[in-house]
């Protein structure tokens, strides 16, 4: 890890600069969220809280996602729906993504979350920022379909890894997936 960068990067409701991304990704600059952004995050969370108890369908709150968007989720299962979404995206196999790339994308996700358009809880954004500021960068991997490193890869966003860590899901369950499959199916890597 580089020596601590001497400046911090302030994230608000507007865009961040390329220089800010480079400072966090390559030099471990600290991230600070503006008061305006915190106010927007709280405002959007209040909207989600209201929708979560509503009987009417609201995409991703009281319905499934994607192909399951028309499936209504009962109120008592909605918290489980959110946890299941994180779990379903926090597994994969393939080559490790470079630390600075993951840090850059974590900052971009923080910037998106700080706009107040996502409905997340304060604690989620605080945890995300705290992890980035502490230098805790998840080992992110490219998901390789068919376990063949030569095939096209779909990058798995660190948001799901970080959220999984925040939810206290044992990351150790996800990391060995590639190694297990590589041992069970060595011909897939050929």
Active site residue ranges: 59
**Nearest Cα to 108, choosing from 85, 90, 132, 86?**
132
Which token pair is 141?
């991997």
């Amino acid at each position: 890890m580089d020596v601590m960068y001497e400046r911090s990067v302030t994230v608000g409701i507007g865009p961040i600069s390329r220089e800010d991304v480079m400072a966090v990704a390559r030099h471990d600059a600290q991230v600070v969220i503006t008061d305006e952004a915190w106010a927007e995050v709280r405002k959007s969370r209040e909207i989600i809280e209201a929708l979560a108890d509503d009987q009417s369908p609201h995409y991703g709150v009281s319905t499934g996602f994607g192909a399951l968007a028309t499936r209504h989720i009962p109120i008592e299962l909605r918290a489980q729906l959110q946890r299941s979404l994180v779990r379903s995206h926090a597994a994969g196999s393939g080559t490790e993504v470079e630390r600075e790339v993951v840090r850059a994308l974590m900052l971009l996700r923080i910037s998106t979350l700080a706009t107040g358009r996502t409905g997340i809880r304060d604690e989620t954004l605080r945890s995300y920022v705290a992890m980035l500021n502490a230098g805790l960068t998840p080992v992110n991997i490219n998901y390789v379909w068919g376990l063949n490193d030569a095939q096209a890869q779909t990058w798995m966003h660190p948001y799901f890894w970080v959220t999984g860590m925040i939810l206290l899901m044992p990351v150790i369950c996800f990391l060995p997936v590639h190694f297990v499959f590589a041992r069970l199916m060595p011909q897939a890597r050929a």
